[in-house]
Structure 1
Amino acid sequence: MKILVIDDHALVREGLHQVLKGLDENVSVLQAGTCEQAFALAENHVDIDLVLLDYHLPDMTGLQALDVFGKKHPELPIVMLSGSANVQIMRQVLQSGASGFVTKSSLSDELLHAVRLVLNGDVYSPSELGSDFGALSFDGANAKPPLTQRQELVLRELLDGRSNREIGSSLNVSEETVKTHVASILRYFDVQNRTQAVVAAARCGYRPTSAA
């Protein structure tokens, strides 16, 4: 497992590294103090499983960085970290494509819970938001031509909660090919991450193979 931590405070990054060992003692943690460094690491490490992104960074805001990651690495789940518990910011971050939002005042167990949830393909919504996140809408997919047969196969694997590696093995294609199909699926539903794609697909009538 490989996680990219982006925060401009070295002590915070080191602290997060120690907390993330609670997932797996051998977890690999990449560290970046700026978005520029983070984007370079993401280009050089295509096997990153998740990003922890600070909301306040020296070279751009977390929202701006989230947008860049969404365009360059749409398959990569992002959990936003912030010292603020502002509900409006939380909602904006999740609506912008983040897979989770955790305040820095949270206990380490909450962060680990959020990370595990996101790694399993779900969205972690702070308790302050209640059920508001479920109200996000994804419109316009029904007006488009159908997905290709291969894209539908990949989508059904996503609905089953499988990782890119597992999908590649199941469909006998490379992980890079899977990423290409996932990116096409995200564009199709006009969403920014695989979790939102699953929600949008379910609303359009797609079901996991286990429920077919």
Structure 2
Amino acid sequence: MNFAIADDHGIFRSGLKLILHDLYPDCEIQEAAQGDEVLEILKNHDDIELLLLDLRMPESSGVSLLQQCREQFPEVPCMVVSASEELTVMQSALQNGAIGYIPKSSSNSEIAEAIKKVMSGDVYIPPQLKSVKRGDQTLNINLTPRQLEVLGLLAEGMSNKQIGNQLHIAPGTIKAHIAAIFRELESVNRTQAVRRARELHLL
């Protein structure tokens, strides 16, 4: 089992290595401290089972490195580990192909649980993205990365057919995603769903 950690802070890389070795004692771990090293590791190791990627690294900006990894090595699952807890940053990472997002403020046990979840084939969505405050009320928003993508396209005014063409998914699947979006955002139509999503800073 082979992992890759991409973070320009050596202390944090060491912490992630300890967590990985605790979960998978016999695993191998490749390390990168800057953007170009990440791509080189993925090029030279075709057995990487998970890339843990910081969004802020030398020679990379925002989600650009994530996009490069997903475009050049789509078979490698990537989970973002970042100091940013901004909802828009989390959403952007998930929309650009990350299978999870771990804030660096998370405890070791939370990071371990997130890693186990994505290694089992699931997507890890941080609590910060699920629970959003509106006034004095806390709303538990539980939208998958794909549903967030659909929501973004709804906000652009796309029809079901256009969304299907854009995301390469069947009409029935689109309807199911939209129904889930309406349910989570307590909406009865597209306009209301988009308005509430903007109020909650999901868009």
TM-score bracket for the superposition, by shorter chain length = 0.5 to 0.7
Please, which runs of 5 or more residues in structure 2 have no aligned partner?
131-140, 151-159, 176-203
Aligned with 2:102: secondary structure? strand
By relative contact order (CA 8 Å, sep 6+), the higher-ranking structure is 1
Which residue of the partner structure matches residue 203 of structure 1? Answer: 173
Q: Does 1:136 align with 2:106?
A: no
Which residue of the partner structure matches residue 61 of structure 1? Answer: 61
RMSD of Structure 2 on Structure 1 (CA): 2.3
Contact 1:94 1:133 survives alignment (8 Å): no
Query: Cα distance, 1:204 vs. partner?
Result: 6.9
Contact 2:95 2:149 survives alignment (8 Å): no
Which residue of the partner structure matches residue 78 of structure 1? Answer: 78
Q: After superposition, where does 1:172-211 map in structure 2 within 5 Å?
A: 189=167, 200=169, 203=173
Which residue of the partner structure matches residue 6 of structure 1? Answer: 6
Question: What amino acid maps onto 1:47 in structure 2?
Answer: D
Provide the rounded CA distance (Å) in 2 between the counterparts of 1:109 and 1:102: 12
Deviations 1:70-102 (A, max 9, x none): 111112111111112111111111111111110
Provide the rounded CA distance (Å) in 1 between the counterparts of 2:149 and 2:129: 16
Which residue of the partner structure matches residue 43 of structure 1? Answer: 43
Number of corresponding residues: 152
Q: Share of identical aligned residues, percent?
A: 30
Shift in alpha-carbon separation, 1:32–1:129, aligned structure 2, 3 A:
same
Query: Cα distance, 1:137 vs. partner?
Result: 3.9
Provide the rounded CA distance (Å) in 1 between the counterparts of 2:116 and 2:72: 23
Shift in alpha-carbon separation, 1:62–1:113, aligned structure 2, 3 A:
farther
Provide the rounded CA distance (Å) in 1 between the counterparts of 2:15 and 2:51: 15
Q: After superposition, where does 1:85-96 map in structure 2 within 5 Å?
A: 85-96=85-96
Which residue of the partner structure matches residue 197 of structure 1? Answer: none
Which residue of the partner structure matches residue 109 of structure 2? Answer: 109
Query: Cα distance, 1:62 vs. partner?
Result: 4.3
Which residue of the partner structure matches residue 31 of structure 1? Answer: 31
Which has the larger Rg? 2
Which residue of the partner structure matches residue 19 of structure 1? Answer: 19
Aligned with 1:38: secondary structure? helix
Q: Higher strand proportion, which one?
A: 2
Which residue of the partner structure matches residue 153 of structure 1? Answer: none
- State the TM-score, normalizing by the size of structure 1: 0.65
Query: Cα distance, 1:12 vs. partner?
Result: 1.4
Question: What amino acid maps onto 2:148 in structure 1?
Answer: L
Aligned with 1:111: secondary structure? helix
Provide the rounded CA distance (Å) in 2 between the counterparts of 1:29 and 1:57: 19
Query: Cα distance, 1:189 vs. partner?
Result: 4.7
Question: What amino acid maps onto 1:4 in structure 2?
Answer: A
Shift in alpha-carbon separation, 1:70–1:20, aligned structure 2, 3 A:
same
Aligned with 1:102: secondary structure? strand
Provide the rounded CA distance (Å) in 2 between the counterparts of 1:132 and 1:95: 15
